[in-house]
Chains A and B, each alone.
Chain A
Amino acid sequence: MKIIYHCFGGSHSSVTAAALHLGMLNKSGIPTNEQLLEIPYYDKTTDADFGTIRYMGTDEFGNEVYVLGKKSMGNRYSQVLMGVAEILGKRDQLVLVNCMDRVNWSMKIGGFTSRRLKLVLVGRPVVTWGTRQAFNQLVNLVEITRIKVMRNNKNIQVT
């Protein structure tokens, strides 16, 4: 299966969720700022990365995990991509996970300041603090996703 975690910029919540899914982060404790910044792509994307589906790794069940930044296209983007998979007859191989519901205001403001305004020194501490606050929510989202994938549910869209 191909699992795509997506959020606004594909830089914070989706990347953290994908890292949790792949075991790069320990879900039993809140990560430190340094641990977050060690995740590939975390707070490192540019405008050119919008819409790029980036490979993060393969989990222990052989599922490929990707991240995607889809700007403000909301949950409709899941439908768009799922529709494309359906045309290709591959709908049952795709799992789309929208991370936006787990994003708090600190992540939004910090992410915007760091990535869009390029004020990394100001934005990065705010977004990492926000990510730590939202960490348990993201753990919950990943656990739901992993359980659903393990049950081999078809046509999954997790919100």
Chain B
Amino acid sequence: MNNKNLLFLGTTGIYHTLIAAHLYVNKAFPADFTNLKYWGDLSKENWGYPLFLDQDEHSNKIYSLGVGLNLQMSANSIQQLVRILGCSEQDLIVKPIFIKRERLLYFFHRISRFKLLKFFTLPIIIYLLRFETTYINQQVAKIIN
């Protein structure tokens, strides 16, 4: 069987999508969000390319990507591009990860570009995401099942 690629898509690709990917691969929440690979790495986020994170137990490659507030639009474009390039949906499985405080997270993510503010925004983002773990867990559980 060919290995698949799994792309976790979010408003940002360096916070909640990383948590979802970690949960998917390791079947447990990370003890410390800040230890996750690419956590809060704005330079990687600005690059725009999907971030390769890990492989699951079936050697499927796991990626994370942030696309801003037009999450569903981007998911549709990507899925369509996969077909245009002659691949099947199984070659790249796109899974948008939603959170309830999407706009708030994106706002703090945007102002994190200013170095002085980043000092304050990162703890706020972590605080916000602690309220989202159940919702993220539900979405990842659906993917696993």
Residues of A bordering B, CB below 8 Å? 2, 50-53, 64, 66, 68, 70-71, 73, 76-88, 90, 93-94
Contact = CB atoms under 8 A, between A and B. Distances in A.
Contact of A84 (B61, B72, B82, B86): B82
14 contacts: A2-B85, A70-B70, A71-B70, A73-B67, A73-B70, A76-B48, A79-B49, A80-B65, A81-B77, A83-B50, A84-B50, A84-B82, A87-B61, A90-B86
Contacts of A52: 76-77, 80
Given A51-B74, A66-B84, A87-B63, A73 B49 contact: no
A80 B9 CA distance: 11
Contact of B85 (A50, A51, A93): A93
Contacts of B78: 80-81, 84
B85 A90 contact: yes
Nearest to B76: A51
A49 to B, nearest CB: 10
A84 B68 CA distance: 16
A73 B80 contact: no
B91 interface: yes
Interface residues of B, number: 28
Contacts of A76: 46, 48
B117 to A, nearest CB: 21
A84 B92 contact: yes
Nearest to A6: B77
Contacts of A81: 77-78, 81
Given A51-B74, A66-B84, A80-B65, A88 B92 contact: yes
B93 to A, nearest CB: 11
B5 interface: yes
B47 interface: yes
Interface in B64-123: 65, 67-68, 70, 72-74, 76-78, 80-82, 84-87, 91-92
Interface in B42-56: 46-50
Given A52-B80, A70-B77, A83 B49 contact: yes
Contacts of B46: 76
Given A73-B67, A84-B81, A87-B63, A79 B92 contact: no
Contacts of A85: 81, 85
Please name the 10 residue pairs, one residue from A and one from B, whose CB atoms are nearest each other, closest first: A79-B48, A51-B73, A83-B49, A90-B85, A76-B48, A51-B77, A51-B76, A83-B50, A53-B80, A88-B87
A53 B47 contact: no
Contacts of A86: 49
